[in-house]
Structures are given as C-alpha cells and as structure tokens.
C-alpha cells in the first residue's frame, strides 16, 4: 500500500509550493517513521513494507505517479539527478498532475528536508531550513498552519 496524499482542495489544479511544503511537513511531523529513509542515510522514493513497517515513500515519492514509483521506487539518488538522467530534465514527467509546475530546485530542497533527521526532531532547525531554502513566506505559511 502506497501512502498517496491527495489534497481535496486541489483535485484538478496544481498545488502551490507552500501547499506542498505544508502537506509534507504535516505528514512527516505526525509520524516521523513515515519517512522512507534507509540505513546508509538518505532515502529511496519507496521503501517496501516489512513485517513491522508499512510501505513508505519519501517526500518526492509521495507525489510521484504510480508508474514512476514502479519504475524508480528503489532509486536512492537526488531527484535532480534522476530527472536529468532518465526523464529529459522534466520533473513533471514523474509527478501526479496536482504537483506539476514547480522547478527541480523546489523538489530537491523538499527531498533534503525529508532526508535530514534533525529537522524532524528540532523545530528551530526545521524553521531555519524552511526559511533558508523556501523563503520567509513559506516559513510564515508553515507557522500559520500550526506546524511550528
């Protein structure tokens, strides 16, 4: 079972960067075990289920199409490298439609956020990262959502 989060406010339209960021912070803040991290550090787009854990997806993997997850789920590199090497540089090729329209740097930064353990245990570090990578407006949006 893949945990796909569909924003009911946006069934047929693209989500904004702030909406994706809030969705991501909320999803992993509720249960950090949802992160698709691996023992060697970093993550894969999808970690298969085990006897003790359900299937998990990383921040980018949660937003991928089922076809892209089947094709790249075990990939453990950065999204910009994957997209440039395998998808002609167009990140939208691997994302569900509601996530289209955002640059690769946004998805890279979202992946770094997901992969870095101390952001999920230290709200000060999380806030600093969000402000430095996504901007002051994004930080305010995350705060307004009650996540910091």
Q: Is 7 contained in some domain?
A: no
Residue 6 forms part of a structural domain: no
pLDDT in tens, 118-142: 899 999 999 999 999 999 999 999 9
The Cβ of residue 88 has, within 10 Å, a number of other Cβ atoms equal to 8
Query: What pLDDT sits at residue 52?
Result: 87
3 lies in some domain: no
Q: How far is CA 51 from the centre of its chain?
A: 24
Asked if residue 2 is part of any domain, the answer here is: no
Mean pLDDT, the chain, integer: 88
Q: What is the pLDDT of residues 89-123, one digit of tens each?
A: 899 999 999 999 999 999 999 999 998 888 999 99
Structural domain that includes position 73: 17-144
Within a domain: 64:
yes
Q: Is pLDDT at 24 greater than 50 in this prediction? A: yes
Q: Tell me how many domains the chain contains.
A: 1
Contact criterion met (CB below 8 Å) for 56 and 47: yes
The answer to whether residue 54 scores a pLDDT higher than 90 is no
Q: Is residue 73 part of a domain?
A: yes
């Amino acid at each position: 079972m893949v945990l796909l989060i569909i924003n009911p406010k946006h069934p047929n339209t693209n989500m904004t960067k702030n909406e994706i960021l809030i969705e991501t912070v909320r999803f992993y803040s509720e249960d950090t075990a949802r992160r698709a991290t691996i023992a060697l550090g970093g993550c894969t787009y999808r970690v298969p289920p085990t006897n003790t854990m359900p299937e998990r997806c990383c921040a980018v993997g949660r937003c991928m199409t089922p076809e892209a997850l089947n094709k790249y789920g075990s990939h453990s590199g950065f999204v910009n490298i994957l997209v440039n090497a395998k998808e002609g540089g167009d990140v939208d090729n691997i994302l569900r439609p509601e996530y289209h329209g955002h640059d690769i740097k946004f998805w890279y930064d979202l992946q770094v956020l997901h992969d870095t353990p101390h952001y999920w245990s230290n709200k000060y570090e999380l806030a600093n990262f969000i402000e430095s990578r996504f901007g002051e407006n994004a930080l305010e949006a995350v705060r307004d959502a009650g996540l910091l």
